[in-house]
Amino acid sequence: MNKLLSACAALVLTTKMLAAQEANLVKYVNTRQGTNTKYEFSYGNTYPATSLPFGMNTWTAQTGKNGDGWKYQYFEKAIRGFQQSHQCSSWVNDYAVFSLMPVTGQLEVNEDKRAAKFSHDNEIAQPSYYKVKLDNNITTEMTPTERGAHLRFSFPKGAGSYLVLDGYTKMSMVNIDPATRTITGYVNNFRWAPNGFKNYFIITFDKPFAAYGTWENKKNTTSVGSKTAEGEGAGAYVKFKDGEIVQAKVASSYISPEQAALTQQQELGKYKSFNDTRKAADKVWNTLLGRMAVEGGTEEEKATFYSCLYHANLFSHQFFEYNKEGKPYYYSPYDGKVHDGYMYTDNGFWDTFRAQFPLNTVLHPKMEGQLVQALLDAQKQCGWLPSWSFPGETGGMLGNHSISLLADAWMKGIRSFDPKQALEAYYHEATNKGPWGSANGRPGWKEYYADGYVPYTKQTEGSTAWTLEFAYDDFCAYQLAKATGNKYYEDVFARQMYNYKNLFDPKTRFMRAKDTKGNWIEPFDPMDWGGPYTEGNAWHWTWSVFHDTQGLINLMGGDRNFTAKIDSVFSEPGTIKVGGYGQVIHEMTEMAEFKMGQFAQGNEPIHHMLYMYNYAGQPWKAQYHLRNVMDKMYNATENGYPGDEDEGQMSSWFVLSAAGFYSVCPGTDQYVIGSPLFKKMTISLENGKKFTIEANNNSKANVYIQSATLNGQPYTHNFITQTDIMNGGVLHLEMGDKPNTSRGLALEDKPFSLSKAAQ
C-alpha cells in the first residue's frame, strides 16, 4: 500500500513538474529573433509579432516609417506606433495596417514627432505578451487573440494622456463614439487584393474620453472635436485623464463592421481584464510549444529551438472568420465575394513547401487539410492555384508548388480534397502562363514540354531553376495521380518529371543553362549568381532534384563522385561573383559571412543538400554538417538567422533538423534522418499519440549516430515515415563522437528516389 501511495505521489509530482515546465516555455521565445536586419543584410527580416498561432493578424511595435517593409529594426532607437500587421516578408511590405500610439504631454500626431525613444532593456517580447516602457515613461502592453488584441497603456502622472490612431497608407475611415468609448472604421492599404477590399476594425476602451478629434497623415492636420473622417490617411485621437491606465480591446474583419463587432465579442468578450486575455494567450502558446517537449541541451539551445518553433507557427494566416452560428466564412481576396469555409493566406510556397508545410502535416494535420482545400477554392475564385498569396495572388518567385502541398498532404493521409480537381487545376497551371509573376502558371511552358527544358534567353532569367522545380512539381502531380488511380495524369506527368536530366552537364557535373538550340550557354562559371539561376548559382541549384537524388547520383557517376561534389561546396572559396545580377545582393553577403565556402543556408535552394549524403553511403557527413549549421548559424538573438526567415521556412528547417529528420522530398511519406540536437524530444500528436526521439549520449561532440532502434527493433534506414511518426513510438539513437561508417549503407536503407542505383 505504501509503495502504491509513493507511486501515486511520484506521478502527481511528475505531472506537476511537466505542467510547470509547459507553463514556462514562452519564456524561451524571443520574438525579436532575426530583427537586426537591413536591406543589405538579413539576419531574418522578422519583426516581433505578438500573435496566436496562425492568427488572422499580428501586433507589433513599429520603428519604421509608414509603408516601410522593415517595420521593426533592432538597431533603431524609437517607436512610432503599435500596429496591426499581416506582413510575411519585408520585400512585399504589408497590408490592412493601422496603428495606435500613446502620446504624453502635448498632442502630437506626426509619425516622426510622436515617436518615443526606448531601450531593449525595458522591453519584453514573447509570443503572447509584448511590453515596452518608453523613455517618456509610457508603458504599452499587448496580448493577442486570433483576430484581435488586448492592449494596455499606462500613462505617467501629471501630463497629457493621448492615444493616436494612424490610418497608415491609402484610404481609411474612422468614427469616434464617446458614449460607447469606441473607435470604428476601416483601412484599405494593400497591394494584391480586389477593388473594394477593406479591413474593418473596432476598438473599445475601458475609460471615458476627455477629448477627441480626427486628423490625416499627409499634412498632419487635426480637427478638434470631429467624430468622423474618411480619406487618405484619415485617423483619430482620443484624450484620457492625466496619468490614466487604459485598456483597449481591438478586433477586425474583412467582411463587415458588424462582423468586426461580433468577433470582438467572440474573442475578447469573455475576458474582463488584460491579464485574463494574456493568461489565455499564454496557455495557447505553452500548449503548442509543449507539443515538442525537449530534454537536455543548453538554455541557449532551448531558446533557439522554441523561438524557431514560434516562427514556424505564424504563417499561413487565417483569413476566415466565424459567423453568429460559429461557422467559418470569409471574404475572398481573389474574387472579392464572401464564401463559406476556410481560407488561408500570406505565404510564399517556393520558400515553405520544403519544411514549413511538412511540419504542419506532423503538428497540425487538421489545419493542413483545411488549407489544401482552400488552395482549390482559391483556384476556383481567381483561375489559378496560389503560389504566393498576400492576401491575393502575387505570382512571386518560381515553381507551381501548390501541387507539392496537395500531394504531400495526400501521401501523408490528409485527404480533405478531391484529387481529380487538384490534378486538373495543376494541369491548367502547368500548361499556361498567368497574368502575374513567374510562379503564376509557367513561363516557357511550351518549350519545357517540347524540348524538356526552358531555354535561357534575356526574357527567361531563372530558366534553369524553373526547369528543375517544374520537374519536381510534375513528380508531385505524378505521385498524386498514381496514388489515386488517375492513369491519364499519371502518364502525362511521368514524361516530365525526369526533365532535370536535360540540363545536367556531365563534363562540369553542374546543372547548366541551354539556349533554344540545345547548346550550353558559354562562358560558364559555377560561382556566377543569377542569369539562369534564381538567387543563387550552380553550386546551389545543382541539388534541386528532390524527387530523384539517385538519378542525380547516377548522372554524376556514382556515390563517390556525388559525395565529393557535396564536399566541394564547403571546400570551394566563398567568393562572390555577382554574375547576371550585376551587383551584390544580400543573399551573397550572407553566404560569405558564415565562411562555409559556397554553402548558402541563408536561402532555400540548398536547404535539403546536407541530407543528400544519406542517399550516397555517407550519412555521417550529414550528421556532422547539420549539427555544425545548427550551432553556428542559428540563435535566439536579434542576429538569429543566416538569411531571410521566409514565412516559417528557415525556422521549420531548424525545428525539424533539431528533431533529427527533414522533409527532403515533400510528396512522399518519408523524412530523412539527420542528427537530433537534444537528448530527448517528445512530439505530442493531434491523434493523442506521442512520438519520441531519444539520442543517448548526445552532446556537442557526440553528433554521430552509432546505432538505432525503432520501437525496440534494430533500425538501419536513413529515413522514417509519416506513418512511423503518427503511430507513435520511440526512435532511439545511440550517439558517439566518431562516425559509424558501416551503418545505413544498404540499398534498402536509402531514402526514396525515382531511379534505381546504376549497376
CATH class label, 296-749:
mainly alpha
Helix or strand or coil: residue 633? Answer: helix
For the chain, domain boundaries: 27-278, 296-749
Helix boundaries (H) for 112-216: none
Per the document, the length of the chain is 759
What is the pLDDT of the chain when averaged over all its residues? 96
Bridge-partner residues for 14, per DSSP?
none
Q: Whole-model pTM above 0.85?
A: yes
Letter string b/e over residues 273-292, b meaning 16 or more CB atoms within 10 A of that residue's CB: ebeebbebbbebbbebbbbb
Task: Specify the amino acid at residue 639.
Answer: N
Angstrom distance (rounded) from CA 556 to CA 256 = 59
Q: Would you state the cell numbers that stand for residue 365, as one nine-digit string?
A: 494535420
Q: Would you state the cell numbers that stand for residue 252, as one nine-digit string?
A: 477586425
Is 46:34 a contact under the CB 8 Å cutoff? yes
Bridge-partner residues for 60, per DSSP?
83
Relative orientation angle of helices 365-382 and 356-363, to the nearest 10 degrees: 130
Bridge-partner residues for 681, per DSSP?
294, 693
pLDDT given for residue 758 in this prediction:
84
Does an H or E element contain 16, and which?
helix 2-23
Angstrom distance (rounded) from CA 418 to CA 651 = 31
Angstrom distance (rounded) from CA 63 to CA 41 = 18
The region that residue 355 occupies, defined by phi over 0 for left and psi between -120 and 50 for alpha, beta otherwise, is alpha
pLDDT given for residue 158 in this prediction:
87
Q: Would you state the cell numbers that stand for residue 351, as one nine-digit string?
A: 520558400
Task: Specify the amino acid at residue 342.
Answer: Y
Helix or strand or coil: residue 729? Answer: strand
pLDDT given for residue 458 in this prediction:
86
Does an H or E element contain 483, and which?
helix 463-483
Q: Would you state the cell numbers that stand for residue 422, as one nine-digit string?
A: 487538384
Angstrom distance (rounded) from CA 506 to CA 503 = 10
Q: What is the DSSP letter of 687?
A: T
pLDDT given for residue 67 in this prediction:
95
Angstrom distance (rounded) from CA 309 to CA 649 = 11
Domain 27-278 has CATH 3.90.420.10: no
Angstrom distance (rounded) from CA 464 to CA 401 = 16
Measured CA distances, 264 to 237, 249, 319, 332, 543 (Å): 21, 7, 16, 21, 49
Angstrom distance (rounded) from CA 185 to CA 174 = 4
Task: Specify the amino acid at residue 318.
Answer: Q
Which residue reads 514627432 in cell numbers? 113
State the virtual CA torsion across 489, 490, 492, 496 in degrees, nearest 10.
Answer: 130
Measured CA distances, 393 to 193, 379, 744 (Å): 8, 10, 44
Q: Would you state the cell numbers that stand for residue 225, as one nine-digit string?
A: 472635436
Task: Specify the amino acid at residue 249.
Answer: K
Q: How many CB atoms lie within 10 A of CB 181?
A: 17
Measured CA distances, 641 to 28, 42, 76, 102, 636 (Å): 16, 8, 19, 32, 9
**Using only C-alpha atoms, what is the Rg of the chain?**
26
Q: How many CB atoms lie within 10 A of CB 522?
A: 8
Q: In the chain, which residues have pLDDT < 50?
A: 1-22
Bridge-partner residues for 704, per DSSP?
736
Task: Tell me whether residue 519 is exposed, middle or buried, using C-beta atoms within 10 angstroms of its C-beta: 0 to 12, 13 to 18, 19 or more.
Answer: exposed
**Rounded to 5 degrees, what are φ and ψ at 234?**
-65, 135
Helix or strand or coil: residue 665? Answer: coil
**Rounded to 5 degrees, what are φ and ψ at 455?**
-70, 155
Please spell the DSSP secondary structure of 432-468, one letter per residue: -B-SSSTTSB-TTHHHHHHHSSPPP-TT-TTHHHHHH
The region that residue 683 occupies, defined by phi over 0 for left and psi between -120 and 50 for alpha, beta otherwise, is beta
pLDDT given for residue 13 in this prediction:
40
Angstrom distance (rounded) from CA 191 to CA 173 = 19
Bridge-partner residues for 234, per DSSP?
216
**Rounded to 5 degrees, what are φ and ψ at 520?**
-65, 140
pLDDT given for residue 165 in this prediction:
98
Q: Would you state the cell numbers that stand for residue 128, as one nine-digit string?
A: 503572447
pLDDT given for residue 289 in this prediction:
98
